[in-house]
Amino acid sequence: MKSIQQRLDENYIPGCIKYKGEYQFYLMPIAWWILNYAQYSPSILQDISRQNFRNGALNITDDKIDLFFISISEDQISIPEVKSMMEHFPEEYSKITFFIDFDKKEYISTFDYIEVESYLPDETWIGKYGNPTDYIPSVIIQW
């Protein structure tokens, strides 16, 4: 498994995902934060070599959530790792950039280069450009 330093050097981006009332932090490449990758990059549907991307979960609908979580399990980081990352790396690399709430179907992003909050699984989702840490309970992110 790659270290936090290696992942940040490779432009991995930190974020938080809430699912079934639990908050988990992840450090992943941008492609993994795009919930509807088939909409973002339709060519992936034609590329047989990429059909296994995220275990085939190209659009993270309710029936694909489990496959998605299996595919990102290596990218999960602990709260102490998040705190350490924020203390030891510049904010531009270490700030929480995404918050995905699978329970409420909300996607919050401060990512400036791609409007990832507009590539959502379906019309029941709400995407917003905003501060992800505003959606994470303060008892979790007391740093």
The pLDDT of 34-56, averaged and rounded, is: 78
Give φ, ψ of 81 to 5 degrees.
Answer: -65, -40
Residue 112 belongs to a domain: yes
Residue 95 belongs to a domain: yes
Residue 119 belongs to a domain: yes
The tens digit of pLDDT for each residue in 72-106 reads 999 999 999 999 998 998 888 889 999 999 999 99
Among residues 72, 70, 53, 74, which one has the least CA distance to residue 3?
74
Question: Given a cut of 80, is residue 52 above it in pLDDT?
Answer: no
Among residues 114, 79, 122, 80, which one has the least CA distance to residue 98?
114
Tell which wins on pLDDT, 115 or 91.
Answer: 115
Residue 14 belongs to a domain: yes
Residue 114 belongs to a domain: yes
Residue 108 belongs to a domain: yes
Cα–Cα distances in angstroms (integers) from residue 114 to residues 30, 43, 62, 68, 94, in the given order: 9, 17, 24, 21, 18
The tens digit of pLDDT for each residue in 27-37 reads 999 999 999 99
Residue 143 belongs to a domain: no
Q: How many helices (H) and strands (E) does the chain have?
A: 6, 6
Please tell me the total count of domains within the chain: 1
- Percentage of the chain exceeding pLDDT 70: 94
Question: Given a cut of 70, is residue 45 above it in pLDDT?
Answer: no
Q: Which domain holds residue 82?
A: 4-135
Residue 106 belongs to a domain: yes
At 34, list the tokens.
Answer: 């795009």
**Residue 51 confidence class, pLDDT cut points 50, 70, 90:** low
